[in-house]
Amino acid sequence: MLNIRGLAASIDDKPILKGIDLIVPPGEVHAVMGPNGAGKSTLGYVLAGREDYVVTAGSAVFNGTELLGMDPEARAAAGVFLAFQAPIELPGVNNANFLRTALNAIRRSRGEGELDAVQFLKLARAETKRLAMPDDMLKRNVNVGFSGGEKKRNEVLQMALLRPKLAILDETDSGLDIDALKIVADGVNALRGPDFSALVITHHQRLLDHLVPNRVHVLSAGRIVRSGGPELARELEKSGYAGIVAEAA
């Protein structure tokens, strides 16, 4: 389980997170919603270990291990996965090689044997098929020339292959049509189980229709201002953030 206490972080001396308290029990999916600039993406980056964010206070303990201060690759090895809002393009890096390198790095850290190219391709093809991705996405350079939807699906493909214990999805639904949305939701639902938790950062109720969260949190100006059940997302869809944000202020 993920236990975040009093987490504060800044970038370029500008405070973004101002004391986040959040617990995600094992097996649960929590949604994080909130207006633009609230700090939702920062929360994802800080948990994944991006170096340009400076943690100024607090802790984030995952399955008994303090994440803050660990290298990003060590967090990945511990089971943390961030699906990027804007997946990074890697010109000159073949997607299949990238995925196999990542998978084998994770497998090494788990003490599992590495997969050779043939074993890997068999596994990857099965996943691309399940995610309704064309086979040639494995042959192309990582995210280069991918449409917005293809990039998001490529993130879900990585998640499916790496099988994280904590997935943080940063607006993975944005820019997706209804069919793709369902595929992404199914991808997360397929991982659901007692050893899997997820933080789903989203602006829209839409995704949460397919990926029903246990809890919904509203983040505003670097703090969680309200938490509730799935019905909170529907309420926000109707009335917007203004009321909740004003109430908290």
Partner 1 sequence: MNAVSPPPRPGAAGFLARYESLIGALPGDSALRAAAAAAFRAAGLPGGGPGRRIEAWKYTALRPLADMLFAPAQAPDIAEPPTLAGAAAKVVFVNGAYRAAMSAPPAFFARFADRPDFGTLSWPDREPMTALNTMLAADGMTLDIPANTDGGTVHLASIGVGPTAFHPRHLVRLAPGASLTLLETANGTGPYLHNPVTEIHVGAGARLIHVRLQNEDIAAFGLSTLYADIAEHGTYDSFSLNLGGRIARAEIRATLSGPHATAHLNAAQLLTGTQHSDFTTVVRHAEPHGASRQTVKNVLAGQSRGVFQGRIEVARDAQKTDGYQMNQALLLSPDAEMDCKPELEIFADDVKCSHGATIGALDADQIFYLRSRGVPAAEARAILVRAFLTEAIDAVADDAIRALLEAGIAGWWDNQAA
User: Shortest approach of partner 1 to residue 209 CB, angstroms?
Assistant: 28
User: Shortest approach of partner 1 to residue 236 CB, angstroms?
Assistant: 29
The number of helix segments (H) and strand segments (E) in the chain equals 9, 12
Angstrom distances, CA of residue 243 to CA of 35, 122, 189, 220, 240:
12, 51, 31, 12, 7
Is residue 208 classed as helix, strand or coil in its secondary structure? helix
Question: Of 12-20, 73-81, 209-217, 235-243, which part binds partner 1 (CB under 8 A)?
Answer: 73-81
52 contributes a contact to partner 1 by CB under 8 A: yes
Helix, strand, coil in percent for the chain, rounding step 5: 40, 30, 30
**Maximum Cα–Cα distance across the chain:** 57
101 contributes a contact to partner 1 by CB under 8 A: yes
Residue 90: left if φ>0, alpha if ψ -120 to 50, beta else—which one?
beta
Residue 214: how many CB atoms within 10 A of its CB?
15
Task: Indicate the pairing of strand 197-201 with strand 29-33.
Answer: parallel
Name which of 77 and 190 has its Cβ closer to partner 1.
77
User: Shortest approach of partner 1 to residue 245 CB, angstroms?
Assistant: 30
List residues bridging with 11 in a β-sheet: 14
Q: Which of 91, 111, 113, 194 binds partner 1 (CB under 8 A)?
A: 91
Which of 34, 48, 43 has its CA nearest to residue 16? 43
54 contributes a contact to partner 1 by CB under 8 A: no
User: Shortest approach of partner 1 to residue 122 CB, angstroms?
Assistant: 20
187 contributes a contact to partner 1 by CB under 8 A: no
88 contributes a contact to partner 1 by CB under 8 A: yes
Q: Which tokens sit at 27?
A: 């097996």
Name which of 103 and 219 has its Cβ closer to partner 1.
103
Q: Which of 15, 35, 72, 230 binds partner 1 (CB under 8 A)?
A: 72
112 contributes a contact to partner 1 by CB under 8 A: no
55 contributes a contact to partner 1 by CB under 8 A: no
84 contributes a contact to partner 1 by CB under 8 A: yes
Q: Which tokens sit at 13?
A: 């001396």
117 contributes a contact to partner 1 by CB under 8 A: no
- By the criterion CB under 8 A, which residues form the site for partner 1? 48-52, 71-73, 75-77, 81-82, 84, 87-88, 90-93, 98, 101-102, 105-106, 109, 158, 162
